Structure 1
Amino acid sequence: MSLLIDDECINCDVCEPECPNGAISQGEDIYIIDPELCTECVGHHDVPQCIEVCPVDCIDKDPAKVEDQDSLYQKYLKLTA
């Protein structure tokens, strides 16, 4: 499952540099997460780093992009190959 930044985002800039896959970028109004690059930090960290550093807790799992741990790990392997 990819992560999603909701409209509570305050554009504080702390999540973007924490993403090991470069999945977070500045969108039109708030930061966005590219679901093709988001592995929820599987393969890099035990917990998603963007969620850990977000001061307003505006990042959650995207219910429209459900992936299990194995799928996320396979995506990690593909991205780091």
Structure 2
Amino acid sequence: MRLVVDLNRCQGYAQCAFLAPEVFAMHGDEGLLYDPQAQDAHRARVAQAVAACPVQAILVDELDMAATAPGAPGGAAPAAGEASDA
């Protein structure tokens, strides 16, 4: 899985480092270090970190998001007003 963190947006709240320490780590008070090629074994924790980021600075590569896209096995159902490919 590929990750991108907008380091200009990141405010160093460290929720990601708390939830997925295998992938994210704080360097000093505000510097974030992360593995942009995180292992799939850490997918659940990374998803929690993405959801917990107060400034939404963490992005998962769109190709990886296809596995959880609406209509995909195990994916979310389409929201009201969204078209379904089913």
Distance 1:46 1:58, change over 3 A: closer
Query: Would you tell me which structure has more helix in proportion to its own residues?
Result: 2
TM-score (norm 2): 0.53
Structure 1, unaligned runs of 5 or more: 70-81
Aligned length: 64
The structure with more radius of gyration? 2
TM-score (norm 1): 0.55
1:23 paired residue number: 23
CA contact (8 A) 2:19 2:45 kept: no
Report the Cα offset of residue 17 of structure 1.
Answer: 1.3
How large is the RMSD of aligned CA atoms in angstroms? 3.3
CA contact (8 A) 2:3 2:38 kept: no
3-state SS in 1 of match to 2:33: strand
2:77 paired residue number: none
1:26-65 to 2 correspondence within 5 Å?
A: 26-27=26-27, 30-39=31-40, 41-42=42-43, 45=44, 48-62=47-61
Q: Percent identity of the aligned residues?
A: 22
The one of the two structures with greater contact order (alpha-carbon pairs below 8 A, sep at least 6) is 1
